[in-house]
């Protein structure tokens, strides 16, 4: 059983993993994607993004490699590892459970 990350932390990890599931991306790209995808509602605090990324990398869920961006800059691109993909599935499921349960509680009055 993977260790259950606490919810807030887990949320950021979930967002990062989902973003990287689409395509490998660098830190700034991840920030932009989350902002765009949430239509501006979620803005990732940059100060916590990088520690989260490196924690995930140390946990071997993602892997970072230096690469060249579209406008020919150097950037560290992250992609999901197999373990990361597995963790994403589990995290998504538990997120579903969590949100459905919260919704039920909210409706129950």
Partner 1 sequence: MRNAFKHFFRRHVSDAEVRDEIEIHIAMRAELNRQAGMSEDEARLAARRQFGNTACIREQIYDIYNFAFLDAIARTLRSGVRTLLRTPGFAILAILILSLSIGAAGAVFSFVDGVFFKPSPYRDPSRIVRVEERRSSGEPNIVVAPLNFIDWKNENTVFETIAARTFVREALSSVPEPAIILGTRATASYFDVFGVAPALGRLLLPEEEQPGKDNVVVLSHRLWSEQFGGDASIIGRPIILSEKPYIVVGVLPKGHPLERDLPRFWRPLSFNSGERTRGFHSLFVTARLKPDVTLDQARAEMEALGARIARDNPETNKGWGVIVDPYVDVMTGPHFRQALCLWSTAVAILLLMGLANLANLMLARATARNREVATRMALGAGRITLVGQLVTESLLVSVTGGLLAIVLAYAIVSVCRAMLPDASLPRETYVTIDLRAFVFMFVLSTITGTVVGIATALRATTGDLVQKINRSGRTSSPDSVRHRLGTALVITALALSFVMLMISGLLVRSFLQLVRVDPGFDETKMLTVWLSIPQNKFSNPEDLGTYLDEILQDLAGLPGVHNAAFTAAPPLGGWGYGMAVLVRGRPDVDTASRPIVGFKTVSPSYFDTVNLRMLRGRPLSRQDSHGSQPVAVISSTMAKKFFNDQDPIGQHVLVPELVPGQLGVGRDISWEIVGVVADERVSLFDPAEPGLYVPIQQSLPMYLNLVVQTNVPAATLEPPIRKLIHQINKDQALDQMLTVDQSKRVTLTSNRQQISLLTAFTCVAMLIGAIGIYALISFLVVQRNGEIGIRMALGSTPALIIKLVFTRVFSWAVIGAIMGSIATLGLTRALQALLFGISAHDPWMFLLAFSFLAIVSALAAWLPARRAARIDPMVALRAD
**31 or 94: CB nearest partner 1:** 31
Angle between helical axes of 27-37 and 46-58 (0-180°, round to 10):
120
CB of 89 vs partner 1, minimal distance in Å: 24
For the CB of residue 92, give the shortest distance to partner 1 in the complex, in Å. Answer: 25
Phi then psi dihedrals of residue 56, to 5 deg: -65, -40
3 interacts with partner 1 by CB under 8 A: no
> Is the Cβ–Cβ distance between 42 and 94 less than 8 Å?
no
Alpha carbon distance 80, 46 (integer Å): 20
* Number of residues forming the site for partner 1 (CB under 8 A): 19
Q: How far apart are CA 92 and CA 42, in angstroms?
A: 18
Q: Find the binding residues for partner 1 in span 18-77 (CB under 8 A).
A: 26-28, 45-47, 50-51, 54-55, 57-58, 63-65, 73-76
Q: Which residues bind partner 1 (CB under 8 A)?
A: 26-28, 45-47, 50-51, 54-55, 57-58, 63-65, 73-76
């Amino acid at each position: 059983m993977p260790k259950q990350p606490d919810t807030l932390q887990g949320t950021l990890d979930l967002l990062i993993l989902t973003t990287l599931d689409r395509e490998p991306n660098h830190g700034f790209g991840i920030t932009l994607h989350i902002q765009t995808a949430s239509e501006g509602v979620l803005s990732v605090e940059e100060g916590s993004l990088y520690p989260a990324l490196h924690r995930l990398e140390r946990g071997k869920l993602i892997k970072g490699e230096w690469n060249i961006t579209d406008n020919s800059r150097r950037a560290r691109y992250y992609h999901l590892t197999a373990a990361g993909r597995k963790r994403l599935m589990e995290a998504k499921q538990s997120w579903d459970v969590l949100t459905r349960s919260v919704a039920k509680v909210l409706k129950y009055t």
